[in-house]
Amino acid sequence: SAVISQKPSRDICQRGTSLTIQCQVDSQVTMMFWYRQQPGQSLTLIATANQGSEATYESGFVIDKFPISRPNLTFSTLTVSNMSPEDSSIYLCSALAGGYEQFFGPGTRLTVL
Amino acid sequence: GQQVMQIPQYQHVQEGEDFTTYCNSSTTLSNIQWYKQRPGGHPVFLIQLVKSGEVKKQKRLTFQFGEAKKNSSLHITATQTTDVGTYFCADPTGNQFYFGTGTSLTVIP
């Protein structure tokens, strides 16, 4: 299993600014992912965070808007750049710990004014 | 990406009644997973189904994978208030997880 923490848990930001969300796993994991979830909606995969290389982005998400880092096997960051109110959402980090069970962090609730 | 639809979108049941959510894919799935998300919480993995026609049980929960591997269902027998939450199916194809639209379950005591 894997226990995942995220920082910050929530934030309120001004449009045009950027926010970096941190995701820390308590053990080395094979894969890490970033999702976005609007309240009451499903999860949308943003990207797969690859250790030591560029993240793999899903259709509709680009590196300039959502730069991702994964410097090692336990840590990743997602930056939401040049934010607009449409970026208000919950951002979730998840990981695969070698099997097929995906573990999720508690999420970061972002509000952009 | 994959299209994974779930019905119903919402379900209100009296405590003790049964509940079923259905997941339908536009393409054949290799596997299917189910997650539960409590209100205000994060998704928690429940189970993965792999084989055509597979049925798995976890206490009051019964999971089924269709023969054609394009649909799946989750059935809860005699719901309890602890079953409240949103149930998602997910297609883990190629480790790119596509989540279904979800079914939100409310259990009325």
Q: Say if residue A88's pLDDT is above 60.
A: yes
Query: Could you give the CA distance from residue A101 to residue B28 in angstroms, rounded to a whole number?
Result: 21
State the smallest CA–CA distance between residue B61 and chain A in angstroms.
Answer: 18
- Banded model confidence at residue B96, pLDDT cuts 50, 70, 90: confident
Nearest to A110 by CA among A38, A62, A32: A38
Q: Take residue A61 and report the two structure tokens written for it.
A: 């998400």
What pLDDT, in 10s, does the model give residues B38-70?
Answer: 999 999 999 999 999 999 999 999 999 999 999
CATH number for A4-112 (one of 2.60.40.10, 2.40.110.10, 1.20.1090.10, 3.40.50.1820): it is 2.60.40.10
Q: What is the DSSP letter of B30?
A: S
State the smallest CA–CA distance between residue A18 and chain B in angstroms.
Answer: 24
Structural domains present in chain B? 30-91 (2.60.40.10)
∠A104-A110-B2 over CA atoms, to 5°?
50
What does the buried/exposed string (b/e) look like for A32-42 if buried means 16 or more CB atoms within 10 Å of the residue's CB?
Answer: bbbbbbeeeeb
**Which of B7, B31, B42 should one mutate to test binding to chain A, selecting the residue with the greatest count of A CBs within 10 A?**
B42
Instruction: Give the start-to-end residue ranges of the domains of chain A.
Output: 4-112
